[in-house]
Structure 1
Amino acid sequence: MSTVGTLRAKLRRRTAASRPGAAMTFTDHLRELRRRSVRAVVAMALGTAVAWLLFEPIFTWLVAPYAEVKPVLAERGIDTTLVFTGIGGAFQFQLKVSIVAGFVLSSPWWIWQVWAYVVPALHHGEKRAALTLSAVCTPLFLAGAWFGYLILPRAIEFLVGFVPQNAESLLTGADYLDFSLRIMLVFAVAAQLPVVIVMLHRLGMINGPQLVHARPWIITGIFAFAGIATPTVDPVTMALLATPMVVLYGVAEVIVRVRERRGAVTPVAAP
């Protein structure tokens, strides 16, 4: 009887998921959340295992910005060295790098799991919307992280450049990893701005005229965010983060206007 009951429960959940707008119970939502979470965690674990095996090329790629700047600093009389402190320092560094790399490698899959869980609840089972958002978020996330990686040499040169001449700077692996990840993560998150705006428009929470009216305030907020989020305090690095965000905001504004002209405006769902 328990087997029959289990089969019936699964059938009810599949039937509810297949009907647009079908209501799911709180228990069904928890089961769906658990299922999506397990899939995402398994993908991240597999990505971490792959990154652990490929640690040498990943490490070479990660420290390339530092290796690029080191001769430039040496010409200015600043000797800097990347070191690992403590008995387990190198192990902890490799483990952290592998976890982060696994997180990035599995990003297409876990991003899909997030949107596949969230979007149907908001848009009555629109799987196509989840797939579209995943297809857009993943390249934006990776492109933002890559752009942050390209900024690393300038950021390192700027900050380490404050070391007095004829002095030596010892940079631990943990500090370098945290600094690099912060730079890349800030740019990766900032790249999601158009997705957030289009999502809010899809929910009927904002419209084109509101975006136009709020444009000066949004741009001011973007530069404020760039000034706070970037580890450096130089205006060039801040501008390198803020300028793409302003461009992405303009792209999102154009997308919203095109959607409104086509009549693709989703009203706010009734509570």
Structure 2
Amino acid sequence: MALSLRRKPKKPTKFQQAAEGSMTLIEHVRELRNRLFIASLGLVVGLIVGFIISQWVFDILEGPYCALPSSWIDGQCRFLVLGATDQLVLRLKIALWVGIIIGSPVWLYQLWAFVAPGLHRHERKWAYVFVAIAAPLFMLGAVLAYFVVKHSLSFIMEAGVIGESTQLEVTAYVGFVMNMILLFGAAFEFPLLLLMLNFTGVVSARRLLSWWRAVVFLSFAFAAIATPDPGPFGMTLLAACISLLYFIAVGVAFINDRRKGRGKELYEGLDDDAISPLAEERVPVGASDPVEAPTAIGSPAPVEKPAPLERRFDDMT
């Protein structure tokens, strides 16, 4: 029995079928269903892990509060608990937040695998770069938020009408810290948005640099609203970080423009209302050729009289 050495052609993957546009609408819907199911499994696994380590995460979040002398009673750091189920609900919330972070590689990959076939090859490459930069920027903003809360909480509590003997409700305190972390992390993604606009050709580096006054002003205005500390420390720190990241993004945009040759176009530097110079070419006009006399048109031939109806067809038709 002869053996064939030819390999069977490999069946194209779902990614290749979606990129080529050979998938039907039903196949797209099925793929979306499967990817949502896998993403849900990743979130469930992350939720279970988050529930296990929720106590450790809470010990980190309570650090700024427990650093205050007013939070210690009988040698223990104590919070106010108003409801019987508040502690359990808080643990579930922490588990959900941690589960979203732990399961992010799974659900982000499923989202990317569904969207990526519709992008070009160079767009996929830059998307990988932007995602790789976005994660460290968010973590940097989260660390800064924790640092600001740690140094601002003492001033906030001591400056109140009650004084240092203030205790906080545990659910409100943890929600306040998590909101600050999310807010600062999202603020640190602003320079990445500017880079995306530059890399896609929407704005140039010179245009981004021309916005520096407005960006610095909006950075301080946003920091004044976002930071809980009414003093200048937290506001100045956040605004300075956002402004520094903005100027770094502008520097990267200048490098990208130089690499792509932007600013050296043929019509760069010309006003939109400038008249295009056209070379004047004069061609002498000579005498025209003589026109022949028109010829007479003969009269039309007479039209024959149509035959009677019974003579138009033969016996077969």
With normalisation by structure 2, the TM-score equals 0.67
Structure (1 or 2) with the larger CA radius of gyration: 2
Q: Secondary structure of 1:87's match?
A: coil
2:94 aligned with 1:97, yes or no? yes
Instruction: Give the whole-Å Cα distance in 1 for the aligned partners of 2:261 and 2:91.
Output: 48
1:82 corresponds, among 68, 79, 84, to 79
Please, which moves more after superposition, 145-154 or 37-46?
37-46
2:182 corresponds, among 171, 180, 185, to 185
Distance 1:253-1:173 versus aligned 2 partners, 3 A rule: same
Structure 2 unaligned segments of length 5 or more: list them. 1-10, 263-317
2:243 corresponds, among 242, 246, 253, to 246
The question of whether the paired residues in 1 share the 8 Å contact of 2:18 and 2:118 is answered with: no
Q: Residue 218 of structure 1 aligns to which amino acid in structure 2? A: V
Alignment of 1:166-205 (within 5 A): 168-205=165-202
Q: Residue 53 of structure 2 aligns to which amino acid in structure 1? A: L
The question of whether the paired residues in 2 share the 8 Å contact of 1:116 and 1:127 is answered with: no
2:56 aligned with 1:57, yes or no? yes
Q: Residue 210 of structure 1 aligns to which amino acid in structure 2? A: R
The question of whether the paired residues in 1 share the 8 Å contact of 2:15 and 2:117 is answered with: no
Instruction: Give the whole-Å Cα distance in 2 for the aligned partners of 1:216 and 1:27.
Output: 51
2:238 aligned with 1:237, yes or no? no
Distance 1:12-1:45 versus aligned 2 partners, 3 A rule: closer
Distance 1:31-1:219 versus aligned 2 partners, 3 A rule: farther
Distance 1:226-1:264 versus aligned 2 partners, 3 A rule: farther
Distance 1:255-1:112 versus aligned 2 partners, 3 A rule: farther
Residue in structure 2 matched with residue 17 of structure 1 by the alignment: 18
Distance 1:117-1:248 versus aligned 2 partners, 3 A rule: farther
Deviation at 1:30, TM superposition (A): 5.9
The question of whether the paired residues in 1 share the 8 Å contact of 2:134 and 2:192 is answered with: yes
Residue in structure 1 matched with residue 66 of structure 2 by the alignment: 67
Q: Secondary structure of 1:94's match?
A: helix
Deviation at 1:194, TM superposition (A): 2.1
Deviation at 1:230, TM superposition (A): 2.2
Deviation at 1:32, TM superposition (A): 6.0
Q: Residue 200 of structure 1 aligns to which amino acid in structure 2? A: L
Q: What count of residue pairs does the alignment treat as equivalent?
A: 248
2:213 aligned with 1:216, yes or no? yes
The question of whether the paired residues in 2 share the 8 Å contact of 1:119 and 1:130 is answered with: no
Q: Residue 124 of structure 2 aligns to which amino acid in structure 1? A: K
Provide the identity percentage: 29
Q: Which has the higher helix share?
A: 1
Instruction: Give the whole-Å Cα distance in 2 for the aligned partners of 1:18 and 1:252.
Output: 32
Deviation at 1:126, TM superposition (A): 3.6
Show CA shifts across 1:124-149 (max 9, x none): 67432232222111111122112211
Instruction: Give the whole-Å Cα distance in 2 for the aligned partners of 1:252 and 1:31.
Output: 40
Distance 1:119-1:191 versus aligned 2 partners, 3 A rule: farther
Deviation at 1:14, TM superposition (A): 3.6
The question of whether the paired residues in 2 share the 8 Å contact of 1:81 and 1:169 is answered with: no
Residue in structure 1 matched with residue 42 of structure 2 by the alignment: 43
Residue in structure 1 matched with residue 149 of structure 2 by the alignment: 152
Instruction: Give the whole-Å Cα distance in 1 for the aligned partners of 2:35 and 2:219.
Output: 33
Instruction: Give the whole-Å Cα distance in 2 for the aligned partners of 1:120 and 1:253.
Output: 30
Q: Residue 243 of structure 2 aligns to which amino acid in structure 1? A: V
Higher relative contact order, structure no. (Cα contacts within 8 Å, ≥ 6 residues apart): 1
Show CA shifts across 1:155-186 (max 9, x none): 21121112346773231111111110121111
Show CA shifts across 1:24-47 (max 9, x none): 887777666655554444333322
